[in-house]
Chain A
């Protein structure tokens, strides 16, 4: 079980992971953010305001769906889906964006900076900024803009300024670099980081805001089945949907937790984003965790069919759960994810995000090895409408 003295999330360390590796110019801003967050963390009025907006705006609680036809087709364990795809703006990202947006408003901030990979965090942040009347600048790699065009247009409709990033591989890590450069230049702006990554307090704060997923799911599965699941599966890019789902179950020792990374073309090809299989301990973009890199410590270029999993580092709390053996991490390839995407569409009438399809793929793989009394809970972190162009292209279909 977790050893509390070693885990000190309040200081930003999860065992040997986490911390604050950032330029001095940002230290004061990050200190202020930490103090402001720790204050609202225990503030009943703030938490009530957030919960009320989640009810009236996000559409929480999101449903828990028993995937009867998928379960029957797999043969074996019952597969249940936590439907974050039904949250406003189409993914779990709104949970964090709304929480941090309210915090930014409390701190008197007027200008919000964000990075985005798949575009889901960018859309969620743009929506929250529109809701709260704040200026919004979103950095996005031009490679990601090309494969997620609908989300670029959504962000612009919602009033955000989308700035294309043309450096490096032109994906998420490059967008984070540019967002950090903006923040260094404008330390009075609020950086609304989208995953459980980066310097303290982000991994802690984002996990807290996403934990609504696991809290709801725990109550819902107990109400529906009278018991806890045997296995929980979530996809892991930075890892915010996974940590939000896992966290409320950490003390339930009989619940197995499994994260699924992007296997891309296969770990052996080097074209993937499987940090646990192919990375090692490193320091990147503010935090110490498992990082894909070369022998000289240069950050590796990653690949995944899903922009949201296409990132070189994993959140520090996942690194900690991995090393403590509380959670296990595997990968699913592009092909696995694509097959799962189609299977879920066909069996359940649900179009999952390509990111979430990685988790569905692992459920499809494991369900037949388990018995009918056992329960797999999958976090369906987002909907796949944004991905239909990528899927069509991969399948050779013109739309």
Chain B
């Protein structure tokens, strides 16, 4: 059975295009912003979307996502609200793959099996959980398998070749390649050793490689498009949305993603 995520990567591969996967924080800037912003990102050319669940202590995140999640929590966002957001996006006709990205404890409190089942029913396609390495993921893995969803694991430049092989074997949909040593956040340049890292991943797995952390500008996306199958953009997009007047956010987000799309397709 091919998941919607796998099918999307397969189609893009045939078209010779790099997947573009922007990220939104549920509840940022306003409580229901994602319902307007997500369709705008898709109009701009997003192939998949990451839907961020807020957590009080996001230790893998830099200043931007710390701030957006703090605002989301102030806006009262709960895991249930995140599931409702997915459901509402599907009801409004959104068809691209939707991945829930969040820290493990809120999902654990909801109940792993119950959360995965509810996410599947809401129309989610997969999960990215930055503080859940495969070693601790047995229950989560079983639940996603049962409900036909993908559990995407992360790989880092510090991962050994052996570890890359082991993690990729357990990952499904794609592998999330962390582009740098560090936390999330906009950067001015990509790490110089990114290509070598992505090549090591290529040697270990046939899964699509999506690159995130620090992917901030059209030229970064163009570089990633030449080396990998997907580009993820989060902090820079949220910084930009946050800098706009409320009335300009939807159009601005669309334009921001369109520029990334054009850079990816021109690469």
Contact = CB atoms under 8 A, between A and B. Distances in A.
A328 interface: no
A357 to B, nearest CB: 28
B107 interface: yes
A21 B132 contact: yes
Interface residues of A, number: 35
Interface string A23-67: 111111100000000000000000000000000000000000000
B105 A282 contact: yes
A245 B43 CA distance: 62
B130 A23 contact: yes
Give the interface SS of chain B, mostly helix, strand, loop or mixed. Answer: loop
A177 to B, nearest CB: 5
Interface string A179-219: 01100111100000000000000000000000000000000
Interface in B93-148: 104-110, 130-133, 135-136
A185 B136 contact: no
Contacts of A21: 104, 131-133, 136
A108 interface: no
B55 interface: yes
Given A168-B56, A296-B78, A298-B73, A23 B154 contact: yes
A299 B108 contact: no
A296 B56 CA distance: 10
Given A20-B133, A184-B60, A185-B183, A283 B108 contact: yes
A269 interface: no
Interface stretch (B8-16, B155-163, B242-250): B155-163
Interface in B235-265: none
Contact of B181 (A25, A176, A291): A25
Contact of A186 (B104, B107, B159, B181): B181
A168 B61 CA distance: 14
A282 B112 CA distance: 12
A299 B167 CA distance: 29
A295 to B, nearest CB: 7
A13 B143 CA distance: 22
Contact residue range for chain B? 35 or more
B154 to A, nearest CB: 4
Given A173-B57, A299-B56, A299-B57, A24 B156 contact: yes
Give the interface SS of chain A, mostly helix, strand, loop or mixed. Answer: mixed
Contacts of B160: 28
Contact of B60 (A23, A167, A174): A23
Contacts of A187: 158, 181
B133 A297 contact: no
B59 A180 contact: yes
Contacts of A176: 59
A180 B181 CA distance: 12
B104 to A, nearest CB: 5
A22 B56 CA distance: 16
Contacts of B182: 25, 181, 184-185
A295 B78 CA distance: 9
Given A24-B155, A24-B178, A181 B59 contact: yes
B68 to A, nearest CB: 13
A293 interface: yes
Given A167-B66, A284-B57, A297 B107 contact: yes
Contacts of A259: none
Interface of A: 19-29, 167-168, 173-174, 176-177, 180-181, 184-187, 282-286, 291, 293, 295-299
18 contacts: A24-B159, A24-B178, A25-B156, A25-B181, A27-B133, A27-B158, A184-B60, A185-B183, A282-B109, A283-B104, A283-B105, A284-B105, A293-B105, A296-B106, A296-B109, A296-B110, A297-B55, A297-B106
Given A19-B136, A284-B105, 14 more contacts: A21-B104, A21-B131, A22-B133, A23-B178, A24-B130, A25-B178, A25-B181, A26-B158, A168-B57, A173-B57, A180-B59, A181-B182, A184-B182, A293-B109
Q: Which 9 residue pairs spanning A and B have beta carbons closest together?
A: A297-B109, A297-B106, A25-B156, A185-B182, A298-B56, A24-B154, A297-B105, A23-B60, A24-B156
